[in-house]
Chain A
Amino acid sequence: MSRLLKEYKKIQTTLSPNSTHHNNNDDDEFNQIITYLHPISTSDLTHWQAQIKGPQGTPYANHEFQLQIECPPTYPIEPPIIHFQPLSMPHCNVNFQTGAICLDILEKQHWTPAWNLMTTMKAIWILLKDPVPDSPLNVDIANILRVNDQSAYNGLLNYYLSASPSPSTTK
């Protein structure tokens, strides 16, 4: 658990709203990706909440997405369990109903304890940028991606993103 405490401290300094504290490009990069990343309660560091920004140049741009993070007691030996807010993320590698994410590093075989919560957020953000239609959890979106119908893809995603109560609109 001390590892999660150390991560929390590091996250607090890295994602500080006061940008003058940022001392390197890595910190800037994380600030451009992550809106916030904090435990739901400071007394229990196993449950976390996060919000990441949609990457520019994708239909997700200008939207923000909420994530639920659960760290098993054996973290970081075992990977954290991460879900998008249900019914909020139209993405070929995300189950729209449950928010479950299909990402290799979140699975036992590919996770290593060298990852941490911030880098995992970055990995999810990269997944938004570069969807992988070959291992889909959302078959409809994956099929449109496979036939490379860009206008249909953008249209469908925009429909979903405007219809679902996006955290950015409620903010």
Chain B
Amino acid sequence: MKSSALEGDNICPICFDDLNDTDILQGKLKPCNHKYHYDCIRRWHGYSDNSDCPLCRCQPKTMIVLSRNHNGVETIDHTINFEIGVLANLSARMADLILQQEIAQEVARSERETREMYGSEDVRNSSTLYAVRDEEEEGSLSGSDASYYHSQIESRSRLFYANENREIEWWICGLCNVDIHGIPSESVHCADCNRSYHRSCLTSLIIEVGNTSGHEEECPACGSYLGELVIDDLDISSSTKDRLDHSGIQGIDGVFTRTSLSSSEGDQFENSLLTNINSFTPQYENTEESTDSLVGENSNQNVDTSPCCLGSRDRVACTRLTEATHLEKKYQTTSRGTTTPPENDFESLIETKTKIQEHVRKELKKYYRNETTGISISKETFTDINRVVSRRLYALSDFRYISDMDYDKLARENIVLEIKSLEGPALG
């Protein structure tokens, strides 16, 4: 548009207020040199979804943010670069960050599971159980899943490139349209619609609408989960760490997230990608020692169950074990399908496992190297049956210790069943 009767050299074309007021930031678009109040032009950019100049409709490359002191001397506060190159760099860094966090998550998950295996003396007997499970899960994860991550990250990057206009919303609060200066603790970001918010704006919105259901983590625009905005901060904030230290169960959570991943729900992955970054902290400091000392033992256990180094009797047992494991997996999948384990308390989970295993061991001991019962089982078989039966009871009781349940009887029945099926093929 051409000359306006209201236009002047010292008037902000958006609010018509004096542009040269001290203490108010100015934004000077380059290369067209049109000046606005900084807040006004950012409000406009936030509304218009682009960075165009309102006066000449050009697409500026940069905006120089100026402040003016009492003597009228202008100083450059900072410069905002609108060019896609910068945004693309950001995208690459985001992709990098996602990858790093994913790897850290993977490492910490396996570490935590190792700790879970050997965490207490009581659980020790069932350690092979976990070892086998670990092997299965990690086997299915490595290789194909790694490339899956990479393809996901690539597509994520492309998403950033394609939406360079939307990127502007990264930097402007979706509620007050004022810049977010990338302070992760003070801003939150919606991975779904790519909007960012000041935490204070979100809080005031909740107060305004009287939402007391604690949904402050929902994006006001699209309703999906909001994660903290992570831009420069590769080190996870201490607050996040604290939060995670209090909920050790996150590791289990990770397993379930991964389970949903391998069902190739790409979108869900993408959505959970950014949120996972924020809800996860590797716990190296607690686990490093125990892992080192236990890895060797762990591999020994694996050798024990490997078919190639067992006698014929044991091989049968091993075949049986494999079948039992499959059966167990079926149990697990069915119970996972209907109910999810309580994720609130890691300690109670361990306690439940321990209690159920006590019952099984008590019943099983009757058969262990005891000639009087007519059936004597070897140490390996003891461990196998203990694992299989404990697992089954665990799944049956819905991942909780139910005091009404007769675990002794259930354990006895299942042990007899296992021993019979062990003998079956051996006799046949």
Contacts and interface: CB of A to CB of B under 8 A. Distances in A.
Interface of A: 2-3, 6-7, 10, 14, 26-27, 30, 74, 76-78, 112-116, 118-119
B15 A114 contact: no
A27 B44 contact: no
A114 B5 contact: no
A113 B13 contact: yes
B3 interface: yes
Interface of B: 1, 3-7, 13-17, 40, 43-44, 47-48, 52, 54-55, 57
A105 to B, nearest CB: 8
Contacts of B7: 114
B6 A26 contact: no
B6 A10 contact: yes
Contact of A78 (B5, B40, B47, B52): B47
B15 A116 contact: no
B3, B43, B54, most chain A CB atoms within 10 A: B54
Given A26-B3, A27-B5, A112 B54 contact: yes
Nearest to B52: A112
B54 A114 contact: yes
Given A112-B54, A113-B14, A114-B14, 12 more contacts: A3-B16, A3-B17, A10-B6, A26-B5, A27-B5, A77-B47, A112-B52, A114-B1, A114-B54, A115-B4, A119-B4, A119-B5
A10 B5 contact: yes
A77 B213 CA distance: 33
Contacts of A118: 5-6
B5 A112 contact: no
A2 B44 contact: no
A16 to B, nearest CB: 13
A76 B14 contact: yes
A113 B3 contact: no
A106 to B, nearest CB: 13
Nearest 10 pairs between A and B by C-beta?
A112-B54, A6-B16, A113-B14, A114-B54, A114-B13, A114-B55, A77-B47, A26-B5, A3-B16, A113-B54
A133 to B, nearest CB: 24
Given A112-B54, A114-B54, A118-B5, A2 B14 contact: no
A63 B7 CA distance: 30
Contacts of A78: 47
A16 B14 CA distance: 24
A33 to B, nearest CB: 12
A119 B16 CA distance: 15
A14 B7 CA distance: 13
Contact of A14 (B5, B15, B48): B5
A147 B254 CA distance: 69
27 contacts: A2-B15, A2-B16, A3-B14, A3-B16, A6-B16, A6-B17, A7-B16, A10-B5, A10-B6, A14-B5, A26-B3, A27-B5, A76-B15, A77-B14, A77-B43, A77-B47, A112-B48, A112-B54, A112-B57, A113-B14, A113-B40, A113-B44, A113-B54, A114-B4, A116-B4, A118-B5, A119-B5
A6 B7 CA distance: 12
B5 A115 contact: no
Contact of A77 (B1, B4, B5, B44): B44
